[in-house]
Amino acid sequence: MTLSTQTRQTHNPIDTSDTTATPSTTSEAPANRVHRGVDTRIQAVIIGVVLAAVSIGVWQLAVTAGWLSDLAPTPARTFSRGVEILSDPFYRDGPGSVGIFWHVITSLRRVLTGFFIATVVAIPLGFVLGRSTALRWAVDPLMQVLRPVSPLAWLPLGLALLSNAEHTAIFVIVLSALWPTLINTIDAVRNVNPTYINLTATLGTPMWARIIYMWFPAALPGIVTGLRISLSTSWLVIIAAEMLVGGQGIGFFVWNQWNRLDIDAIVVAIVLIGVTGLILDHLVAALQKVVRYD
């Protein structure tokens, strides 16, 4: 008895030390991951700043060395023009003479209106085509013919049919936003896990409940991916469309500045277009992270 007791006492410290070593190791892992993530972000910011500085330096060198035309903007003039444009973005001197804020708002209104109409059409239609193989095969040739057509090719037809520049711009956005959402919705519905389908059929779940509680949540990540592509495409197309339809809008602003040969203002507008597109994309990307469904 004494020997066995001593043996257990001899081995207990080793077992205790092994047991306590594991939690300390695992508790350090999340902290290390956090530190590595912070270091990576700091490095990314530093690299981004360096690349931006190098790009501006190359830009200035190209202008100074005469590699570009006399109309080429310079970093200093562009910055000065940007300060001038952004210092009074809300002014209104007439229908076509407004601040940059109103141009951006006009473009956003057209994009969001067309995007909403396209979404209302594309998602239900995508569900129907995704569920019905025969119907999908029937309309697929028409979709494949219309989908590659540039949205701007529809602009003259829109003007002829609608006789209104505002409605024509929205019509072009609808056609731009329709296809990515429609195709992604069809693929998302087709790729729903068969186990979910069989389970709801076995339980005798009503069709409306299947759509709300099974089909839609399972297909939602794919649908949001299509929405993200549609919104980005719509923002690209509206700039070119507004150059042709006129009125107000950031595309009209760019074309108007070209007519005045104000290239510095065009560069400022390009930066605003990019920043606005980045914000729109990040908003949908945040939604995409929320609706992930496993």
Query: In the chain, where are the structural domains located?
Result: 103-292
Within 65-164, residue ranges assigned H as helices are 75-87, 100-131, 133-146, 155-162
pLDDT of residue 9: 44
pLDDT of residue 274: 93
118-141 b/e (C-beta count within 10 Å ≥ 16 → b): bbeebbebbbebbeeeeebeeeee
pLDDT of residue 108: 95
Instruction: Point out which residues pair with 98 in neighbouring strands.
Output: 92
pLDDT of residue 5: 44
Q: Which of 49, 89, 61, 47 is nearest to 268 (CA)?
A: 89
pLDDT of residue 230: 94
> Could you tell me the mean pLDDT of each successive run of 10 residues in the chain, 294 residues long?
43 45 50 67 88 90 85 89 90 81 93 95 93 90 90 89 88 94 93 79 78 82 91 92 86 91 93 93 84 59
**Rg of the chain taking only CA atoms, in angstroms:** 29
Nearest-angstrom CA–CA distance, 69 and 88: 30
The answer to whether domain 103-292 has CATH 2.20.28.120 is: no
Nearest-angstrom CA–CA distance, 189 and 136: 12
Question: What is the SS3 assignment for 92?
Answer: strand
